[in-house]
Amino acid sequence: MSEPPKKSVRKRKPTLRAALEAAKKAGKAVRSAVVEDGKVTLTFGDEPTPASSDEWDERLNRGKH
């Protein structure tokens, strides 16, 4: 028998949430985050910044209802 045709997998644009969670899991301190033209750009810093990962978590959770 022949196999059914495979469904094409649509690539999703990266989300800010996923990028920040991945950085947190890797133990990286995110200094800033920018979403532009479907791209997520994170800037990392070695020193703690006013926008700590806890603050980013709080900001992201504010948007969830």
Encode pLDDT of 32-61 as tens digits: 999 998 889 999 987 555 556 677 778 778
Burial class (CB in 10 A: 0-12, 13-18, 19+), 20: buried
What integer best gives the mean pLDDT of the chain? 80
3-state helix, strand, coil in the chain (%, to 5): 30, 20, 50
Please check the confidence at residue 19 and state whether its pLDDT lies above 90: yes
Determine which helix (DSSP H) or strand (DSSP E) holds 58, and give its type and residue range. Answer: helix 53-63
47 secondary structure, DSSP code: S
What is the pLDDT averaged over residues 12-37? Answer: 90
What's residue 26's pLDDT? 93
Q: Is the pTM of this model over 0.95?
A: no
What's residue 3's pLDDT? 74
Alpha-carbon distance 29 to 55, whole Å?
Answer: 11
